[in-house]
Structure 1
Amino acid sequence: MQIIDNDGFLALVNSSKFNAFLTEDWEFDQLMNHFVEQMNQGHFLIWRTGYEGGTWNVDFVSERSNQESFRDFEATIEVTDCKLFLTEYSDLTMAASYPKQKIPSNHNSELYHELSNGIYSVTVRQLFNPELDDENLESKTNFEIVLKPLDAELTNQFKKVQWFE
């Protein structure tokens, strides 16, 4: 799956549970706190890519590949409409500002991964070092998202957006 990102954030979203709207005049810190709250509720995961934007190749898999990762994080997410959408910061900020704007946006509405409903363990693996790798990134898998069904509760306890310093 390929997504164009202009701001350096990608997200995985349960669109039927994610509360996208915040307020028409939100401040950046409010938005980040809202994102953390939604992650801890298991509706959403967001991470910083390390670049201010690009075209990213994202693979959804059920088993971790043998490729070494630069960094990764684990979380849980709930699937309730048999889909998780891949989205980016611009879509999220539009939806945070306007109550009628939803995730997915029209131009990213085909960026989803189908799953059975339930709770999933998610491992987001970044397969490149943003400080070293700057060539041919568009020809490689940049992020690997490992999804495994869980017979457990949601366990997220995030304090910030992943990989955002």
Structure 2
Amino acid sequence: MIRGAVLIVAMLLCGCQSKDLPAGDNPAIAGLERAGIETGVVADATKIPPVGLFQRRSDMGKDSLCIVPGKANAYRFGLEVQLGANEYCAGSGTARRTNDKLILNFSRGARCIAVAQYDGDRVVMPGVMDMKCADMCAGKGTVEGVDLPRLASGVSSARAARDRSNAPLCP
């Protein structure tokens, strides 16, 4: 109980630290996160495999990313982002994990590589992507900045995901 109260006070004090430093460069936040991981209050994202289904629904459609195990410490993935009836993006390929990043190598059409953030609970696509990545989109579709929260863990959830034509999303 006391440890939890100390952790809450420490978190509040971190809010008073320099706002000029990003969270990763702020020693107080980095130390607090490390303490949270050590005490079990914060999950260690480096130990949470990205296998599963990440999904977000909106008025414009459903954005989905499924990830399944692949060969040699790699993963396979399928991604579809819907921005309306005629504006969407779809692609699949292989992924590798490096700390808090997923390196997504799209294999459809022109080669496209994206480095997404992964924290164990969500995958966030980069805000700016190579122009080659536009080849996987129709209309004014884009995957830039798409934030996909984890919907389910496990291979079965990922394999059950369907794209807009009801075909399996994950290869």
Q: Which TM-score bucket, shorter chain as reference?
A: under 0.3
What TM-score comes out, normalization by structure 2 length?
0.26
Q: Between Structure 1 and Structure 2, whose CA radius of gyration is higher? A: 2
Greater RCO (Cα-Cα under 8 Å, separation 6 or more): 1
